[in-house]
Amino acid sequence: MKNFFILLAMKVLHIGLKIAGKNGGNFLGKIAYDWNPNIFKYFKINCPIIAVTATNGKTMTNNAIGYIFKTAGKKVISNTEGNNMETGILSTLLKHCSLTGKIKADYLVFEVDEGYVPVIFKDLKLDTLVILDFFRDQLDRNGEVESLILRINDFLKTYTGNLILNNDDPNVARLGQANPENHNIYYFSVEKYSHATTDMKEAGEGKFCPFCNTRIEYEYYQYSHIGKFKCPNCNYGDNEVYKMAKNIDLKNRTFTVDDVTYKIRFNSIYNIYNFTAVISCVSLYSIDTDIIQKALSTFILNNGRLEEIQVKNIPTIINLAKNPTGSNVSLRILNEDDDEKELLFVLNDNIADGRDVSWIWDINFDTLNNVSRIITSGTRAYDIAIRIKTAGFPVEKIEPYLDLHEAVEHFYQTNVKKYVIANYTSLQPTRNEILKLK
Amino acid sequence: MKELKILYLYPDILELYGDFGNIQVLRYRLEKRGFKAIIEPYSIGNPPPNFKDYDLVFAGGGADQEQGILAEDLIQYKQSIKEAVNDGVFFLLICGAYQLFGKYYKGVEGNIIPGLEVFDYYTEAIDDRKKRCIGNIVIETELNGKKTKVIGFENHGGQTFNISSPFGSVLMGNGNKFGDNHEGFFLPNVIATYLHGPLLAKNPELTDYIIKYCLDRKYNEDIILEPLDDAFENKCREQLLLLYNC
Ligand SMILES: [Zn+2]
């Protein structure tokens, strides 16, 4: 009786919020979770639940999976706005359930914060879990990556659903051994691309084998610590690959999987990994390749994740970068583009960003290709300016402005192509300042 | 051309908190003045370094698990490290490296990880694993008789005791332990500290203190370093010190 009562109360509250014209965000979930943390048990769900977790790429991958199912005519419920903690997912479920907790959909697709997987799926039966990557991220808030991986590993010890793992991330592939009884493990990988290197170019983890502590050997690095690796002692990393992306052509934005060519709207190696995970996932649900092709060719995100826009007729690329790898991925795209360009880097140190900004020293600013000016802004505009100066970029070409409005105004005084990198809390304010000029 | 030889210990392991930035800042401020910076890495599996051959030895902080792996490796050089310290080679040690140079590190379960015993201090983990000294920190130190503020970021669970000569007094933040008045360990040729940031990024005076010490010792002189354009650093310090009320 009690569970029915909670759901009912939440539905009434939801309707109330709707009448008041409020979206509610995580609010509904927060109240319900505080009331009864076991509330996840009370939903009646008869369709597959799919979850995506990672340090970087959750939103992109989650939304692409949902988009493909929708293109196939399926009913999908998903947290596309990125509310990815227990309260966010709970809010999404509460909004879509009936008064008795029934959820009618073909698929539930969720991006889940990497720290919350064990919490949320304790009581919700997960059909497929996709894990993309684990990078250092806001160490002062999240702690070291290793403890996070161990928590997920613990969760996976009793998990028997589909597990889709990035075979090129030693932090992720190791999770395939968490439960030897689980035979539903699917590894994905991406063939060496033209800018892969034999040395690690950007800060990364996973230097030692998690099983025998031997130093891991790499044939090549694609970016950060993502690449073809193997433990020379125990062969860790040598897995049978389920889906492999080949013929990576970032200029033309195409790649192939199982000899099928996919055209996408993004041009980074990082996206190829995300989409290979997406293809691995939806293929488990027998979605036709022509539908996947069609969906991926039109899939974009208009929220500052590798968003391409024109401002005063100047091509502008905006990307969120809340950790070193995110920034390094943005700079890879910038450096793989030979056109002259200017960069705006906005760095805040609010609580949600992590107060510690030392991670900017893990960004590789060493060889910027054809960058004629860099503007910095945000609460730590000077920190990032010092970082870029120390990397050898001419100091006279760096302009720090604490005030974001001023920064964006100066940025658009020239008509050179623009790249924008902004961290978590600075992304939307930066995007808004830029869109004002549009 | 005058040069400094820098030994960078375990660059592939002690690299979690952007401490590599210290090497970059040192190199930048040396090269801007026409000095040569020779930076030689050492890590597990490399031939043993001759510590006395270097003007400066640097080590940063790393992940807990990986730090354990390298402690076993480093301990084999205990004697030659002690000799280099006594010889006057400059040692810049951050966070995990700071702890490793002490007597020991006592873990949560009471297990003792032996240190290099180069210095008399020791570190104990705090009972609650989740409790750490985390946040921006400002300390005041004295470099060649001149007081200066040092800005950084601390992130450590370990509490360090028995410090005979601290690096500085705490103006904001914790220091060697929760709510301490002192931060780090300081000798004319040793700075051992919890400060990330990286330490040298916003503290050009401190960087120049280290550079001057190393050059003076190597070339037996009293060098006056040519001033550099520190406009960004100065503005950054001004902004943050005002914000932090220091
Ligand atoms: Zn191994």
Q: Write the CATH number for B228.
A: 3.40.50.880
Which of the residues A358, A379, A401 would you substitute to probe the B interface, choosing the one with the greatest number of B C-beta atoms within 10 Å? A358
- Helices A27-35/A2-19 angle, 10° precision: 160
Which of the residues B12, B16, B133, B200 would you substitute to probe the A interface, choosing the one with the greatest number of A C-beta atoms within 10 Å? B16
Burial A292-329 (b: 16+ CB within 10 A, else e): bbebbeebbbebbbbbebebeebebbbbbbbbbbbbbb
* d(CA A356, nearest CA chain B) in Å: 7
Measured in Å, residue A212 CA sits from the centre of ligand 1 at 4
Q: CA A25 to CA A86: how far, in whole Å?
A: 12
Decide if pLDDT at A266 tops 80. Answer: yes
Is B28 near chain A, with CB under 8 Å? yes
Among A271, A331, A323, A339, which Cα is nearest to A300's? A271
pTM: 0.92
Whether residue A213 and residue B28 make contact (CB cut-off 8 A), yes or no, is no
Average pLDDT score over residue span A350-378: 95
Q: What is the structure's pLDDT at A11? A: 76
Whether residue A358 and residue B153 make contact (CB cut-off 8 A), yes or no, is yes
Q: What is the structure's pLDDT at A73? A: 98
* d(CA B63, nearest CA chain A) in Å: 7
**pLDDT 10s digits, B153-210:** 999 999 999 999 999 999 999 999 999 999 999 999 999 999 999 999 999 999 999 9
Terminal-residue alpha carbon distance, chain B: 40
Whether residue A361 and residue B24 make contact (CB cut-off 8 A), yes or no, is yes
Average pLDDT score over residue span B227-235: 98
Q: CA A227 to CA A204: how far, in whole Å?
A: 11
- R_g of chain A, CA atoms, integer Å: 22
Nearest to A389 among B12, B202, B232 (CB): B232
Among A80, A86, A47, A81, which Cα is nearest to A64's? A80
Decide if pLDDT at A276 tops 60. Answer: yes
**Angle at alpha carbon of residue A55, lines to A347 and B8, rounded to 5°:** 70
Alpha carbon distances (Å) from A151 to A116, A130, A209, B68, B241: 10, 16, 18, 20, 39
Average pLDDT score over residue span A28-43: 84
Is A140 near chain B, with CB under 8 Å? yes
SS (H, E, C) B189-242: CEEEECCECCCCCCCHHHHHHHHHHHHHHHHCCCCCCCCCCCHHHHHHHHHHHH
Measured in Å, residue A199 CA sits from the centre of ligand 1 at 20
Size of interface A-B (CB pairs under 8 A): 87
Q: CA B182 to CA A187: how far, in whole Å?
A: 51
E-state strands within A47-155? 49-53, 76-78, 102-103, 107-111, 128-131
Q: What is the structure's pLDDT at A2? A: 64
Judged by CB atoms within 8 Å, which residues 350-379 of A form the interface with B? 355-362
Residues 6+ apart with CB under 8 A from B145: none
Average pLDDT score over residue span A367-388: 97
CATH class of domain segment(s) A2-298: alpha beta
* d(CA A120, nearest CA chain B) in Å: 21
Decide if pLDDT at B219 tops 80. Answer: yes
Q: Are B96 and B14 in contact (CB under 8 A)?
A: yes
pLDDT band at A210 (very low <50, low <70, confident <90, very high): very high
* Peptide bond just before A210 cis, omega within 30 deg: no
Percentage of chain B with pLDDT > 90? Answer: 85
Q: Where are the domains of chain A?
A: 2-298, 307-437
Q: What is the structure's pLDDT at A23? A: 62
**pLDDT 10s digits, A145-188:** 888 999 999 999 999 999 999 999 999 999 999 999 999 999 99
Stronger pLDDT, B44 or A242, i.e. the higher one: A242
Whether residue A386 and residue B236 make contact (CB cut-off 8 A), yes or no, is yes
Stronger pLDDT, A233 or A101, i.e. the higher one: A233
Q: CA B211 to CA A390: how far, in whole Å?
A: 16
**pLDDT 10s digits, B74-89:** 999 999 999 999 999 9
> Running DSSP on this structure, what letter comes out for residue B75?
G
Decide if pLDDT at A1 tops 60. Answer: no
Q: CA A197 to CA B34: how far, in whole Å?
A: 32
Residues 6+ apart with CB under 8 A from A400: A375, A376, A377, A381, A382, A384, A385, B232, B235
Is B137 near chain A, with CB under 8 Å? no
Q: CA A271 to CA B197: how far, in whole Å?
A: 31
Q: What is the structure's pLDDT at A24? A: 60
In which domain, by residue range, is B182 found?
3-243
Nearest to B69 among A140, A213, A360 (CB): A213
Q: What is the structure's pLDDT at A22? A: 64
In A, which residues are within 8 Å of B63 by CB distance?
144-146, 205
Instruction: Give the chain A residue whose CA is nearest to the CA of B24.
Output: A390
Could you tell me the CATH superfamily of domain A307-437? Mur ligase, C-terminal domain (3.90.190.20)
Count CB-CB contacts under 10 A for residue A247. 12
Alpha carbon distances (Å) from A108 to A49, A95, A96, A155, A276: 5, 13, 11, 20, 20
Nearest to A361 among B18, B136, B235 (CB): B18
Measured in Å, residue B73 CA sits from the centre of ligand 1 at 19
Whether residue A382 and residue B45 make contact (CB cut-off 8 A), yes or no, is no
Q: Are A378 and A346 in contact (CB under 8 A)?
A: yes
**Residues of B known to be catalytic:** 95, 196
Measured in Å, residue B70 CA sits from the centre of ligand 1 at 17
Mean pLDDT score of chain A, rounded to an integer?
93
Residues 6+ apart with CB under 8 A from A63: A78, A80, A111, A299, A301
Is A215 near chain B, with CB under 8 Å? yes
Decide if pLDDT at A12 tops 80. Answer: no
Q: Are A234 and A174 in contact (CB under 8 A)?
A: no
Decide if pLDDT at B106 tops 60. Answer: yes
Stronger pLDDT, A27 or B215, i.e. the higher one: B215
Tokens matching residue B222 = 């009293």
Q: What is the structure's pLDDT at B156? A: 93
Q: What is the structure's pLDDT at A207? A: 85
Terminal-residue alpha carbon distance, chain A: 55
Is B135 near chain A, with CB under 8 Å? yes
Count CB-CB contacts under 10 A for residue B122. 20
Alpha carbon distances (Å) from B64 to B61, B68, B107: 9, 7, 11
Length of chain B: 246
In B, which residues are within 8 Å of A392 by CB distance?
28
In B, which residues are within 8 Å of A361 by CB distance?
18-21, 24, 198, 201
Instruction: Give the chain A residue whose CA is nearest to the CA of B235.
Output: A382
Decide if pLDDT at A5 tops 80. Answer: no
Q: CA A309 to CA B167: how far, in whole Å?
A: 50
Q: CA A166 to CA A61: how far, in whole Å?
A: 13
**Helix (H/G/I), strand (E/B), else coil: A60:** helix
In B, which residues are within 8 Å of A391 by CB distance?
24
Q: CA A189 to CA A111: how far, in whole Å?
A: 21
pLDDT band at A33 (very low <50, low <70, confident <90, very high): confident
Measured in Å, residue A238 CA sits from the centre of ligand 1 at 11
Decide if pLDDT at A388 tops 90. Answer: yes
Decide if pLDDT at A140 tops 70. Answer: yes
Average pLDDT score over residue span A224-243: 96
In A, which residues are within 8 Å of B45 by CB distance?
215
E-state strands within B30-179? 36-42, 56-59, 90-94, 104-106, 112-114, 122-124, 133-143, 146-156, 159-161, 168-172
Tokens matching residue B129 = 């694993």
pLDDT band at A32 (very low <50, low <70, confident <90, very high): confident
Domain count along chain B: 1
Q: Phi/psi zone of residue A176: left (φ > 0), alpha (ψ -120 to 50 degrees), beta?
A: alpha
Stronger pLDDT, A361 or A100, i.e. the higher one: A361
Give the dihedral of Cα atoms A358, A364, A365, A370; nearest 10 deg: -150
Whether residue B18 and residue A360 make contact (CB cut-off 8 A), yes or no, is yes
Antiparallel, parallel or unpaired: β B56-59 and B3-9: parallel
pLDDT band at A20 (very low <50, low <70, confident <90, very high): low
**pLDDT 10s digits, A282-303:** 999 999 999 999 999 999 988 8
Measured in Å, residue A136 CA sits from the centre of ligand 1 at 22
Q: What is the structure's pLDDT at A10? A: 77
Q: CA A297 to CA A149: how far, in whole Å?
A: 33
Q: What is the structure's pLDDT at B187? A: 97
Average pLDDT score over residue span A25-50: 86
Tokens matching residue B240 = 């943050």
* d(CA A381, nearest CA chain B) in Å: 8
Q: CA B136 to CA B82: how far, in whole Å?
A: 32
Measured in Å, residue A237 CA sits from the centre of ligand 1 at 9
Q: Are B130 and B217 in contact (CB under 8 A)?
A: no
Whether residue B232 and residue A208 make contact (CB cut-off 8 A), yes or no, is no
Q: What is the structure's pLDDT at A19? A: 66
Q: What is the structure's pLDDT at A344? A: 98
Is B151 near chain A, with CB under 8 Å? no
* d(CA A354, nearest CA chain B) in Å: 10
Residues that place a CB less than 5 A from ion ligand 1: A 209, 211-212, 214, 231, 233-234, 236
Tokens matching residue B16 = 């979690």
Q: Are A99 and A105 in contact (CB under 8 A)?
A: no
Measured in Å, residue A266 CA sits from the centre of ligand 1 at 35
**pLDDT 10s digits, B7-45:** 999 998 888 889 999 999 999 999 999 999 999 999 998
Tokens matching residue A387 = 């970082």
Q: CA B93 to CA B97: how far, in whole Å?
A: 5
Residues 6+ apart with CB under 8 A from B128: none
